[in-house]
Amino acid sequence: MDHSTRARHIETALRSTLHADHIEILDRSARHAGHPGTASGAGHYAVLVVSSHFEGLSRVAAQRLVYDALADLMDTEIHALQLRTLTPSAWHQLPRSDAATDISKLS
């Protein structure tokens, strides 16, 4: 599966499972070319997910929901996943300049 198809599958899984209001996905696989974990072709992704399912949850609990939603892809298509999970209210409270580039802040 190519990287753009994987990104679409990630988005589809998150939207259908978590009813995500907003998703941003950065493919960081090129940064890890030659890394032993990429030998299988699995990718490295940074993902921002905004969902009301995260209301009242700790950051760890919200991230567990994301990993659960992506469990099938984690076995074969995703080698590494960097997450930022936000509730809709937290997302809307960010200054628009921060919100628009939030995913790029994940290092």
Q: Which residues contact 4 (CB under 8 A, 6 or more apart)?
A: 27
Instruction: Give this prediction's pTM.
Output: 0.80
pLDDT at res. 36: 57
pLDDT at res. 94: 81
CATH number at residue 88: 3.30.300.90
Distance between alpha carbon 87 and the CA centroid of its chain, in Å?
A: 14
Query: Which residue range forms the structural domain that includes residue 10?
Result: 3-105
Cα 60 to Cα 40: distance, rounded to the nearest angstrom:
28
Using one digit for the tens of pLDDT, what is the confidence trace for 30-47? 554 555 555 555 688 899
Share of the chain above pLDDT 90, in %: 50
> DSSP class of residue 77?
T
Intervals of the chain under pLDDT 50: 32, 107
Total count of domains within the chain: 1
Q: Give, in order, the Cα–Cα distances in Å from 75 to each of 42, 48, 80, 86.
A: 9, 20, 11, 25
